[in-house]
Structures are given as C-alpha cells and as structure tokens.
Amino acid sequence: MKITQIETIPIRIPIKPELAIRSGRGGSHLVSPILLVKIHTDDGIVGAGEPSCTPRWSGEDQVTAAHFINTYFAPLLVGERADDVGQLSATFGSAVAGNYFMKAAVEMACGTSRAKRKTSRCG
C-alpha cells in the first residue's frame, strides 16, 4: 500500500452565531477553516485527515498548511508505504518546524488509509 498522491482541499465551515466559540483572546469563531488532507494509495484506498487552520488557536492557516504539505511532505512521502505511520512521521517530521496540527492531519490520513485497508480485508 504505497502512497501515490497527497491532495489538500481547503474548506470553510460556517458556524451558527449562537454556537460560535468565544475566544479569551477576543473575537468569535464564526467560520471554521480546515484543510482536508487525502492520502491516495496504489490499491485505491484514500485516507483522510484534517487540521484546524485557525491561526488564532493553532498558529496555522490553510495556505501555509497546503504549501508545506504539497511542497515539503509530498516529495518525501509519495512512493512510501502508507501503513507505517510511525516511519512516515519520522520521515516528514523534521522537514518543517512546528506546525503540529498539520503534521497530525497527515498522520490521520495515513492512519485512516491503514484502517480502511484492514477493514476491507475483514469482509
């Protein structure tokens, strides 16, 4: 199960004002920007992960997260085995300092592709 492609899709989810998160730093969280990260594998499985891309809380945004994944992580990960999440984390972990939400999203995408593969072999 080798990674063939990494896809990033920015999504903005509106939040009803009465359910908005109020920040101790001021302001309201009326839109939740996330970045859907998809890991495609050579056996047709697609794993997905997503970081919160709200700079006020995570220090990351959709543009920089997509840039780092597409520019720095994808070249390191395409062709690697998607089911060894620990090894993949070690491979891309030092490519960019910080950005823990984004790194966790890539790990989630690899982990869900691994889980889908195991589930598909059970039935």
**What angle (nearest 5°) sits at the alpha carbon of residue 11, between those of residues 61 and 66?**
45
Average pLDDT over residues 102-111: 93
pLDDT at 62: 94
Other beta carbons within 10 Å of 85? 18
At residue 52, the 3 state secondary structure works out as strand
Provide the CATH number for the domain formed by 3-117 in this structure.
Answer: 3.30.390.10
pLDDT digits (tens, 9 = 90+) for 4-60: 999 999 999 998 888 777 766 666 678 889 999 999 999 999 999 999 888 877 889
